[in-house]
């Protein structure tokens, strides 16, 4: 038993939150040095699903001429039907609150079935074009299936696929690297507005879901996507717009940072809090750079350059202090 656990247990005993007998039982149990393999086993299951679905994709790519399109699609459909059969057979049905399968393997079976469904519809559209030139439908249909599976089977991994598909439907890549490197943001300003609107809709959905008590444990996922989509879209426009419209995005980023500051405390989510600070810090620095650029500081540039190392050191110290304060607040 490590020193932290010993001290924490003693603190509980000293505050009379546990009895002396309970303290002895806890200490004896921890001294057995038993640890759980639950997380490791779930990680291997997750990797197994990714490797299996990736293998299906490689198999299709390498043998597309020899196997035949109909055979590949038939094989995919059979595997999908079998996966969903076991999932529906062993599920508890749709419930508004959080539910789990009796066997955790079924959660990853849902994930595998969902990924294979996306592969099936994408391959079907690519080869036979059943939706014609309406490529958005080829994205919207698996997205709809993913949302259904996420809520029916209560699967967070599938929910991330669904939100990603929804973002792709409106023309977005939802990873930070893709958003920053997406040339469409430079050429089509409306795409930035679409990103912000999508992030806002995700926030509104979480508020509505909380009001009707619908899968409230999904909120952290929606809020995470909303934070990244809104913040990166705003920062991208702050950098690439020289007209006065950049002020609008600065205000949106400020409002977003304040909102996610509140949400991170509500959900006690360290990830939201850290990224909120990073995006807010970037926005503040862009704002200061634009202010300095618009005002003649030629006489004090040397002083600003000298002060920059102290500014960044102070920023790092402040960042660490904010994280420590947040940890103390959520621990209460």
DSSP 211-251: HHTSSGGGHHHHHHHHHHHHHHHHHHHHHH--STTHHHHHH
Give the C-alpha separation, 232 to 191, whole Å. 12
> What is residue 1's predicted lDDT score, i.e. its pLDDT?
47
Exposure pattern of 111-150 as b/e (b: 16+ CB <10 Å)?
A: bbbbbbbbbbbbbbbeeeeebeeeeeebbbbbbebbbebb
Q: Residue 265 in contact with residue 330, Cβ under 8 Å?
A: yes
- End-to-end Cα, the chain, rounded Å: 23
For 97-139, what is each residue's pLDDT tens digit?
A: 888 877 778 888 899 999 999 888 888 887 888 877 777 788 8
Of 24 and 193, more confident? 193
33 vs 28: CA distance, rounded Å: 10
The pLDDT tens digits of the residues spanning 293-314 come to 777 666 666 677 778 888 889 9
What does the pLDDT read at residue 32? 65
Domain boundaries, given as residue ranges, for the chain: 1-35, 39-169, 171-295
The lowest-confidence range among 8-12, 34-38, 80-84, 267-271 is: 34-38
Give the pLDDT of residue 174.
46
- Which run of H or of E encompasses 260? helix 246-267
Residue % of the chain over a pLDDT of 90: 33
Helix (H, G, I), strand (E, B) or coil at 96: coil
Q: Which of 46-60, 93-107, 272-286 has the highest mean pLDDT?
A: 272-286
Three-class DSSP category at 243 = coil
pLDDT tens digit string along 163-202?
999 988 877 654 444 545 544 554 556 778 888 999 999 9
Of the two residues 51 and 26, the one the predictor is more confident about is: 51
Per-residue b or e along 23-33, where b marks 16 or more CB atoms closer than 10 Å to that residue's CB: beebeeeeeee
Encoding tokens for residue 113? 């079935």
pLDDT band with cut points at 50, 70 and 90 for residue 5? low
Distance in angstroms (rounded) separating the CA atoms of residues 12 and 48: 41
């Amino acid at each position: 038993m490590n020193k932290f656990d010993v001290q924490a247990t003693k603190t509980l005993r000293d505050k009379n939150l546990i009895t002396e007998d309970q303290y002895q039982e806890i200490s004896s149990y921890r001294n057995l040095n038993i640890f759980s393999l639950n997380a490791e086993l779930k990680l291997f299951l997750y990797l197994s699903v990714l490797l299996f679905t990736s293998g299906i994709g490689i198999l299709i790519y390498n043998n597309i001429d020899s196997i035949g399109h109909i055979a590949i699609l038939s094989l995919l459909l059979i595997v999908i039907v079998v996966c969903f059969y076991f999932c529906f057979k062993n599920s508890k049905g749709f419930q508004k609150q959080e539910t789990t399968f009796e066997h955790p393997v079924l959660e990853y079976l849902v994930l595998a079935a969902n990924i294979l469904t996306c592969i099936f519809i994408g391959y079907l559209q690519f080869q036979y074009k059943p939706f014609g030139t309406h490529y958005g439908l080829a994205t919207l249909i698996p997205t709809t299936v993913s949302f259904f599976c996420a809520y029916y089977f209560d699967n967070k991994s599938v929910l991330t696929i669904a939100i990603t598909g929804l973002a792709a439907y409106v023309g977005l890549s939802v990873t930070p690297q893709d958003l920053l490197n997406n040339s469409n943001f430079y050429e089509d300003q409306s795409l930035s507005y679409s990103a912000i609107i999508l992030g806002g809709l995700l926030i509104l959905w979480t508020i509505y879901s909380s009001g009707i008590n619908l899968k409230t444990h999904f909120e952290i996922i929606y809020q995470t996507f909303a934070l990244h989509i809104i913040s990166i879209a705003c920062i991208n426009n702050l950098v690439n717009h020289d007209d006065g419209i950049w002020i609008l995005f600065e205000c949106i980023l400020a409002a977003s940072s304040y909102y996610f500051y509140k949400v991170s405390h509500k959900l006690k989510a360290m990830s939201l809090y850290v990224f909120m600070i990073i995006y807010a810090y970037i926005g503040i620095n862009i704002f200061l750079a634009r202010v300095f650029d618009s005002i003649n500081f030629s006489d004090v540039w040397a002083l600003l350059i000298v002060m920059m190392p102290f500014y960044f050191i102070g920023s790092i110290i402040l960042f660490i202090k904010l994280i420590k304060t947040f940890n103390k607040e959520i621990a209460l």
